[in-house]
Amino acid sequence: MAGTLLIAYDGSGDAKTALDYAAKTFSGREAVVLTIWEPLMAQLGVAEAFVGATVTEEEEDAVEKGAQQVAEDGAKLANEAGLKATARWESEGAQSVWQTIERVADESDSDLIVTGSRGLTGLHSLLVGSVSAKVLRHAQRPVLVVPSAHLVKARSESPEDAEA
């Protein structure tokens, strides 16, 4: 029997596109829908930490609950689309998002990692990089990167102008 899919899911349109594609392509397969959340203090940034910004336990709990809801919503969509999905949410903690994806793929013994692509180009891509590109570069298992719907549309309208 085929193994588990790991679907990286953040609730964005691009993540939904990837989830839908995975469900159509791998209908009936088991899947883990993973949402990774960043601790609130990390979101505030180091500068704010030095000027006395504090984060309460309740605020951190709210951020985690939000990630849980996103993961559960993604698992529900995946189940409705034909997968046998469970939700999982993880804090990136000391790891980056791509490292957390890799760790959870290892823990769940996933056969395939599925992620969307935001279709970043030019300077934006160079400066921020992309989680999907980092997963591809470091993965020790197959990775399926599903292009964003807007990038696919741009490529179909003007293939010579669409880069990514």
Domains and CATH numbers, the chain: 5-157 (3.40.50.620)
CB 148 within 8 A of CB 15: no
pLDDT for 101 beyond 80:
yes
Q: Which percentage of the chain shows pLDDT scores above 90?
A: 50
pLDDT band of residue 126 (cuts 50, 70, 90) is very low
Amino acid letter at 44? L
| pLDDT for 55 | 67
On average, the pLDDT of the chain sits at: 82
Q: Can you name the residues that pair with 117 across neighbouring β-strands? A: 147
**Confidence (pLDDT) at 115:** 93
d(Cα 33, Cα 48) in Å, to the nearest integer? 32
- pLDDT higher than threshold 60 for residue 29: yes
Q: Would you put residue 68 in left (φ > 0), alpha (ψ -120 to 50) or beta?
A: alpha
Q: Tell whether the model's pLDDT for residue 57 goes beyond 70.
A: yes
Judge whether 74 and 87 are in contact, CB under 8 Å: yes
CA 121 to chain centre: 19
pTM (2 d.p.): 0.80
pLDDT of residue 19: 96
Q: Rounded to 10 degrees, what is the CA torsion of 82, 71, 138, 112? A: -20
Residue 46 to residue 53: CA distance in whole angstroms: 10
